[in-house]
Amino acid sequence: MTALANPGSAAVRRAPPAEMVREPSLVLTFLLGGELFAITIRTIKEIIEYRRPTEVPSMPAAVLGVINLRGSVVPVMDLQARLGRTPASVGRRTCIVIVEIADGEQAQTVGIVVDSVSEVLEIPPEDVEPPPSFGARVAAEFIAGMGKVRGRFVILLDVARVLAVGVPAEALA
């Protein structure tokens, strides 16, 4: 039996690379420092009201700390700081988007702080451009593509790469 025919194999559980996906993508759009960003809803578990994380010593600067989410310890990352920008300031609409990313055979749950959540959109594959090779204020390694929505571009983030804390944003720029 091949790996693809075996439903328990890792090959079946892995998402295809972005360039192979041909169906429209559902994404959650959100504001970050005045710019519109998006991540695929396949990675989102929930969106919660902002609460101050408990600080943990010796964590990377972009990791604000941890929160207790129904008995689970969830690390919370300042997405602005992770993208090499000024750390986020907490406002009235600030929230934490809880995402789940594949980490080998396991999944890692992480909270990311965003200024505000906008909406869920469907972006057809023909409206997604490859990441720019220069000029973006975000490391190209973090960008999955540029989606065209109502005449403007939305930066589609590769959430797994953004949340890989072992790689500093400045090293990818």
The answer to whether the beta carbons of residues 49 and 95 sit under 8 Å apart is yes
Give the model's pLDDT for residue 166.
Answer: 56
What is d(CA 102, CA 111) in angstroms, rounded to the nearest whole number? 14
In tens, the pLDDT along 19-62 reads 444 556 899 999 998 889 999 999 999 999 999 999 999 888 89
What pLDDT is recorded for position 18? 45
- In order, the DSSP letters of 99-110 are EEEEETTEEEEE
Q: Which pLDDT value is given to residue 10? A: 35
Q: Are 49 and 92 contacting, i.e. CB atoms less than 8 angstroms apart?
A: no
**pLDDT, block means (10 residues), the chain with 173 residues:** 38 40 77 91 95 92 93 94 88 95 85 95 89 68 87 89 64 39
**CA–CA dist 79, 161 (Å, integer):** 12
This prediction's pTM: 0.77
Residues in the chain: 173
Q: Provide the 8-state DSSP code for 124.
A: -
Per DSSP, the three-state class of 107 is strand
